[in-house]
Chains A and B, each alone.
Chain A
Amino acid sequence: MDIELKDVTKSYHRRHRSGKAVLTDLSFSVPSGSATVLTGPSGSGKTTMLNLIAGLHLCESGSVRVGPHVLGGLSESRRDRFRARHIGYVYQTFNLLSPLTALENLTVPSSLIGAFGPGTKARAEALLETLGLGGELHKRPYELSVGQRQRVAVARAVLKKPDVLVADEPTASLDKAAAKVVISALEGLIRGGATLVVATHDPQLTEALGARVFAVDEGRWAA
């Protein structure tokens, strides 16, 4: 699925007063099956852009299109369904449901969005295994390190074979070796035809994915 942001303006409203716009008249597009990396200083709006693509935020003006879906025109529940079918999301830090184990954090959400099939559990276990979490399948989030949690989140996003994967600093808390397994998992997704948008400062990640870089240059986003 290709992604297209056209003349997007986004600001966060604080109690009736409208705040300064985070993104102004932003346009960019990502071809289907490619990887794009967003880089920029903290507060430049990377997470905001990922949230727009995932349909978590709507923009005040302009439009966001993912494949055939124009997100501004979808109701909340349709956007829920859109995410369930097409989007995989890896957050910067907070990713897991606290009462569930690592493995259950993959299987239960998959079942709740109606994507759980006969092979799902075995695939989930295999995925966690490849991401170096073979010994952590039955640990709860509070028993996992930050880097381990992040890898569980990557596994959850990869498990559902999304058309679009948005990831926010997926390798930030990882050492080189752990980052490598995450990168190869993401490469696998691209080979499967997925479109990737990743916010990161990690050159290793950018290079390995052969990603186009979209960066903030003198306060403006530019390819």
Chain B
Amino acid sequence: MIARLGSIVFLAVRYLRARPFATWVSIASVAVSLIFVVGVSLVDFGIKKTAVGGALRYPLIVGPGGSSGISLTFSTVFHIDKPSGTIPYEIYEKIKADDRVLAAYPLAISDSLRSYPIIGTNEEYVASLPAPVLFGSRRIEDPRDAVLGYEVALRTGLDVGDTFSGTHGAVGHEGAHVHDDFSYRVIGILASTSGPADAAVYVPCESVWSVHRHADEEHTHEEHAHEEHAHEEHAHEEGKTEKGALTAVLVRTRNPVYTAQLEAELSRTAGVTAVDTGRIIRKVVDYIKTGENLIRAFSAVTLAVAVAMILVTVLMSLAERRKELALMRSIGIGRATIAAIAVTETFLMTTAGAALGMLGGHVAVWWAQAPLKSALGVTVDPWVWTQMETFALVAALVAGQVLGLASLVWTYRMNLVEAIARD
């Protein structure tokens, strides 16, 4: 029995190798459709994971009035949008004192280091980041202390003890002037989270405020008319309080009901917007879903084409082999065995195609990680197994079986008398 099975596979492989071009084109067509599915589903998965993860961490974000929920979420949670406007520090203090609030973190984002945002915040926030400390410490006590996210450390080459100066202007404003009169000292580097926390520099709020107080004093008269909002408001605030202004406050509430209450209450405050991030993320995920469905449909079509191609190849080769099949029958090889050879051929092609496609999809994503990161601001993990991948794999294998069935029917219907070898 085992020997017989071995011979079936052996003969199937020999027949596949006897027509290498058709075989490889068939395998490649399945592989390409799977590379596509796997690649897209990994990117999709990465985006969703990042988005949902961010939303779960901070259900409520409070920022300046008039800012859109999406831009506020993107600038504070994902660091991929430029923050605009500020809110007074008192808002943070008020929120923090609220019983319904589990934790609140102040953010003052204004400068950047090589396009990575320098986030003015407090020790508590840095401690709450989902990344262990890789080197040094994360306790930003002195205004000059800075903790680097994993990616920042990797890209800038800065080490614990090194110093650097921020560039004025947040993300996307590189090339503006450097605050070389104020330098930070790296006190710690965080481990990778594969999330947005990797792509930021964390410093105490006080340093951000003091950098700009000095800067404003020096530059007030030379400033252009269309200087940043943040700047103008800095100037207004300056006299009133020791504490400067904040870009946003990230809030963790005790439960979703409180989130809704606080969102409503805070939004009534003049000059303040409160955003339920869960709602924003759901919106984003909905957008993605539309694309996802399109991609699913497209993948189904490419897979169907690939499968049709294998079917044609196998049936053509069976037709070419009519005489040999008749010969097999005359030797006494039964129809079931002949069908098994044909089924094995389709099975080997679809399986090889599926395996190559899976591997290829992951490798392609791994290879495209950096461009994806800069294009989407999301770290895509190439080595996770997604649900869509399971779906595609099952689809490919089922399709392979259907093909096998088609060749099986064909061999059973073949008329031996008609095909019998005679010259």
Binding site for B on A (CB under 8 A): 47, 51, 54, 56-57, 76-77, 80-85, 87, 89, 91-100, 108-109, 111-114, 116, 156
Q: When the two chains form their complex, are residues B330 and A113 in contact, meaning their CB atoms are under 8 A apart? A: no
Q: Measured between alpha carbons, how far is A54 from B17 in the docked complex, in Å?
A: 32
Known A56-B330, A56-B416, A112-B337; contact A94-B14, beta-carbon cutoff 8 A: no
Q: When the two chains form their complex, are residues A83 and B11 in contact, meaning their CB atoms are under 8 A apart? A: no
Closest to A84 in B: B332
Known A84-B334, A85-B332; contact A111-B423, beta-carbon cutoff 8 A: no
Known A56-B330, A91-B421, A98-B18; contact A76-B323, beta-carbon cutoff 8 A: no
Q: Measured between alpha carbons, how far is A100 from B3 in the docked complex, in Å?
A: 17
Known A99-B17, A100-B11; contact A80-B3, beta-carbon cutoff 8 A: no
Q: When the two chains form their complex, are residues B331 and A89 in contact, meaning their CB atoms are under 8 A apart? A: yes
Number of A-B contacts (CB under 8 A): 87
Q: Mark B211-226, 1 if CB is under 8 A from A, else 0.
A: 0000000000000000
**What residues of B have a CB within 8 angstroms of the CB of A94 in the complex?**
323, 327, 421, 423
Residue from A76, A85, A92, A112 in contact with B4 in the complex, judged by beta carbons closer than 8 Å: A112
Q: When the two chains form their complex, are residues B332 and A80 in contact, meaning their CB atoms are under 8 A apart? A: yes
6 smallest CB-CB distances across A and B, nearest first, come from A84-B332, A83-B332, A99-B14, A111-B7, A80-B334, A94-B421
Q: When the two chains form their complex, are residues A112 and B8 in contact, meaning their CB atoms are under 8 A apart? A: yes
* Chain B residues touching A, majority SS: helix
Flag whether B324 is at the interface (Cβ < 8 A). Answer: yes
**What residues of B have a CB within 8 angstroms of the CB of A84 in the complex?**
331-334
Residue from A51, A81, A100, A108 in contact with B332 in the complex, judged by beta carbons closer than 8 Å: A81
Closest to A97 in B: B324
Given A81-B332, A84-B333, A97-B11, 19 further pairs, Cβ under 8 A: A47-B422, A54-B330, A56-B416, A76-B335, A80-B332, A80-B334, A81-B334, A82-B332, A89-B331, A91-B422, A94-B423, A95-B327, A96-B327, A97-B328, A99-B11, A108-B11, A112-B4, A112-B11, A114-B4
Closest to B336 in A: A77
Which residues of B (267-294) have their CB < 8 Å from a CB of A?
A: none
Residue from A89, A96, A111 in contact with B330 in the complex, judged by beta carbons closer than 8 Å: A89
Q: When the two chains form their complex, are residues A113 and B423 in contact, meaning their CB atoms are under 8 A apart? A: no
Flag whether B114 is at the interface (Cβ < 8 A). Answer: no
Residue from A91, A99, A108, A113 in contact with B18 in the complex, judged by beta carbons closer than 8 Å: A99
Interface size class of B (residues with CB under 8 A): 20 to 34
**What are 10 A-B contacts defined by CB distance under 8 Å?**
A80-B333, A82-B332, A83-B329, A89-B331, A91-B327, A92-B423, A108-B11, A112-B333, A113-B331, A116-B7
Q: Measured between alpha carbons, how far is A51 from B327 in the docked complex, in Å?
A: 12
**What residues of A have a CB within 8 angstroms of the CB of B327 in the complex?**
91, 94-97
Flag whether B352 is at the interface (Cβ < 8 A). Answer: no
Q: Measured between alpha carbons, how far is A198 from B11 in the docked complex, in Å?
A: 30
Q: When the two chains form their complex, are residues B323 and A77 in contact, meaning their CB atoms are under 8 A apart? A: no
Residue from A87, A92, A95, A112 in contact with B7 in the complex, judged by beta carbons closer than 8 Å: A112
**What residues of B have a CB within 8 angstroms of the CB of A114 in the complex?**
4
Flag whether B315 is at the interface (Cβ < 8 A). Answer: no
**What residues of A have a CB within 8 angstroms of the CB of B6 in the complex?**
111
